[in-house]
């Protein structure tokens, strides 16, 4: 598959063109993630690591 799905697999929001390109570059065709969900996950990971 060479096209990225149009919606975030986490929050189901429509992806921007930049987000689609990022996911395509990462070869993440089936479960694309928006930048907001990536940022949220990073924050959660850092919070757990700090404890």
From CA 18, how far away is CA 22, in angstroms rounded? 6
From CA 14, how far away is CA 34, in angstroms rounded? 8
The pTM assigned to this predicted structure is 0.79
Q: What is the DSSP letter of 27?
A: T
Domain carrying residue 10: 1-51
Q: What is the pLDDT along the chain (51 residues), one digit of tens a residue?
A: 567 789 999 999 999 999 999 999 999 989 999 999 999 999 999 999 998
From CA 49, how far away is CA 29, in angstroms rounded? 29
Please enumerate in sequence order all residues whose Cβ is within 8 A of that of 20, keeping only pairs 6 or more positions apart, or say none.
Answer: 4, 6, 32
Total structural domains within the chain: 1
From CA 46, how far away is CA 24, in angstroms rounded? 26
């Amino acid at each position: 598959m060479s096209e990225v799905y149009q919606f975030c697999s986490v929050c189901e929001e429509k992806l921007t063109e930049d987000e689609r390109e990022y996911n395509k570059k990462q070869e993440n065709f089936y479960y694309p993630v928006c930048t907001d969900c990536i940022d949220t996950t990073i924050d959660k990971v850092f919070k757990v690591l700090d404890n």
